[in-house]
Amino acid sequence: MTTLYAYHPASGEYLGSRPAQVVNGRELTRSAHATTTPPPDIPDGHAARWTGAAWEVVEDHRQKLDATGTPYWLPGEGDDWQSPPRYMKELGPLPAGAVTERPAPTLDEARAAALAELNAAFAAAEAEGRVMSSAGFVIDATERSNRDIEGLITSMEATGTQETTFCAADNSFHSVTLEQLRAMRLEVIAHGQALYARKWELRQAIESAQSVEGVQAVVINFDGVGA
């Protein structure tokens, strides 16, 4: 039985094979957008394309559903280290000037990006701060919690109250004394100071790095600070 090899009507790309249809005992070997000429072996990253007279093997850099494809950048058209990758939409080689590795940032660009990441990480750590208090439960260790504790202390000192109810980080309530609140205030302050110390340490590492690789090697996190 004759095999027909189908191709895309616009691009000529090989689409697959099928047996020729048989009508009244005769094979129909002529079909729109198909040929009886088998395509050649197709290496990875290539496709077969029908020229109208023969098959040719061409590069195929398009992005596909299986995530294959060739990402590329065009520095000559303004692509830089922050630009998303491009992908071919048609068969054929990459355009002139294309590079397949993301352009590297300059040292100044790498530092600026790392410092921005540091500031964002610090802000998040500051907003989500928690610490195990000497009172035996975890408390929020943020600017707001510091103000709240300070307010309780001021109120208790003014009224002579020695004990009050305090809401912990997990929203559980505890009876605390004035002295415990004073200790908690110092613990919150110490946590904030530890965050700043880590931030300054990381900033110094970023600013003193003498290469892009050195900047990118700085691991920015505040894990374990004040724990």
Does residue 223 lie within any of the structural domains? no
What pLDDT does residue 65 have?
80
Give the residue among 201, 176, 203 at the shortest CA–CA distance from 187. Answer: 176
Please tell me whether residues 117 and 175 are part of one structural domain. yes
Assess whether 85 and 148 both reside in one domain: no
Q: Does residue 143 share a domain with residue 90? A: no
Residues 129, 183: one domain?
A: yes
Residues 114 and 155 in one domain: yes
What's residue 88's pLDDT?
A: 95
One domain, residues 111 and 210: yes
Note the pLDDT of residue 142: 94
What are 165's two structure tokens?
A: 């109810």
Residue 84 lies in a domain: yes
Asked whether residue 74 falls in the same domain as residue 116, the answer is no
List the pLDDT tens digit at each of the 227 positions of the chain.
Answer: 899 999 999 999 999 999 988 787 788 778 889 999 999 999 999 999 999 999 999 999 999 887 789 999 999 999 999 999 999 999 999 999 999 999 999 999 999 999 999 999 999 999 999 999 999 999 999 999 999 999 999 999 999 999 999 999 999 999 999 999 999 999 999 999 999 999 999 999 999 999 999 999 999 999 888 65
The verdict on 164 and 130 lying in the same domain is yes
Check: pTM over 0.85? Answer yes or no.
no
Residues 168 and 180: their CA atoms lie apart, in Å, by: 13
| Within a domain: 221 | no
Question: What tens digit of pLDDT does each residue of 44-89 get?
Answer: 999 999 999 999 999 999 998 877 899 999 999 999 999 999 999 9
Is there a single domain that holds both residue 21 and residue 91? no
Q: Are 113 and 21 contained in the same domain?
A: no
Among all chains, which residue has been given the structure tokens 């660009």? 109
Number of domains in the chain: 3
Same domain for 28 and 114? no
Angle at 208 between CA 203 and CA 213, to 5 degrees: 95
User: How many C-beta atoms lie closer than 10 Å to residue 32's C-beta?
Assistant: 6
Query: Residue 33 sits in which domain range?
Result: 3-60
